[in-house]
Structure 1
Amino acid sequence: MTTDVSGLSQLGARTPIPASPEQAALERVPNPHPDALYLARFTAPEFTSLCPVTGQPDFAHLVIDYAPKDWLVESKSLKLYLTSFRNHGAFHEDCTVSIGLRLNALLQPRWLRIGGYWYPRGGIPIDVFWQSGLPPEGLWLPDPGVPTYRGRG
């Protein structure tokens, strides 16, 4: 089976980190199994962005799950897109939900969810969750595997 990658601009090429999420090119490839109900997971344990007020770095562990339909996200473009947030100022909720909405619009999957497990800022961790709707019946949903934050004490 051959996958059509003719429309991809980043895979196999030296690609600079996009200056912002808006400038990042997220790319997709045809799903070779569009009739199969399955879950694909991307985990980004070292996601970074900037606080829009202080400019200080924020860190998160992202878990993106989706049930593909006709399209798969091309992983290099996803890595570059997520990396583009490292100099982007936005609140945790905005980063997490924006990523989910953009992937959902690009892929039009059967279902998509994102969990943003943000490390503490000011002593308070923030976890942000978004999903496109109810998961399809029969879809196996593994636990995200990220424990609730536990500080000292």
Structure 2
Amino acid sequence: MPQAEGKTFSFLSEDTIESSLLETINFENKDKEFVKYETDEFSAVCPFSGLPDIGRVVIEYIPNKKIVELKSLKYYFVSFRNVGIYQEKATQRIFDDLFALLDPVWMKITLIYKTRGGIDATTAIEKGEK
């Protein structure tokens, strides 16, 4: 693997992401209600340089029997803050953790990252029947 030029910063491994912080609330979705949460306070770090990657997370889903408790979601996102993880992998990890937790009818996770190195990056994963 190539080496980063200049200073690099230390970071934590993906093992330190705390999916156990996520909690649910029972929710009987009789009318196929659509849920959307957004935050522009997501951050992790580049596993190459240790420099921050900052982005907007959009979570969209049709609940089955559970919704995510929002304070626990915020704590979960904070656990990414010092983790070295590629942008695409962060999207996959959030999707996998939330899909396993909620078992929704349909879910889409989108991360829109701030421009880095002159390149805009958006990653998205979707699964289920809308």
TM interval, short-chain normalised:
0.7 to 0.9
Aligned to 1:73, which of 58, 62, 68? 68
- 2:26 aligned partner, one-letter code: P
Deviations 1:78-107 (Å, cap 9, x if unpaired)?
Answer: 010011111111010011111011100000
Between the aligned partners of 1:41 and 1:49, the Cα distance in structure 2 is: 22
- 2:80 aligned partner, one-letter code: F
Deviations 1:109-141 (Å, cap 9, x if unpaired)?
Answer: 111101110111111011001011342xxxxxx
1:133 to 2:115 alignment = no
- Residue 86 of structure 1 is matched in structure 2 by 81
Taking structure 2 as the reference length, the TM-score comes to 0.83
- Residue 21 of structure 1 is matched in structure 2 by 17
- 1:56 aligned partner, one-letter code: L
Contact 2:19 2:97 in 1 (8 A): no
Q: Which runs of 5+ in 1 are unaligned?
A: 1-18, 136-153
State the aligned residue count.
116
For residue 77 of structure 2, give the secondary structure of its aligned residue in structure 1.
Answer: helix
- 1:29 aligned partner, one-letter code: I
Aligned to 2:41, which of 46, 56, 74? 46
Once the two structures are aligned, what percentage of the paired residues are identical?
35
- Residue 119 of structure 1 is matched in structure 2 by 114
The structure whose residues are more often strand, as a share, is 2
Q: Which runs of 5+ in 2 are unaligned?
A: 1-14
| Deviation for aligned residue 1:44 | 1.1
Taking structure 1 as the reference length, the TM-score comes to 0.71
The structure whose residues are more often helix, as a share, is 2
Moved over 4 A (4+): none
Aligned-residue CA RMSD (Å): 1.5
| Deviation for aligned residue 1:24 | 4.3
Deviations 1:26-67 (Å, cap 9, x if unpaired)?
Answer: 111100x33220111110112110001100001101110010
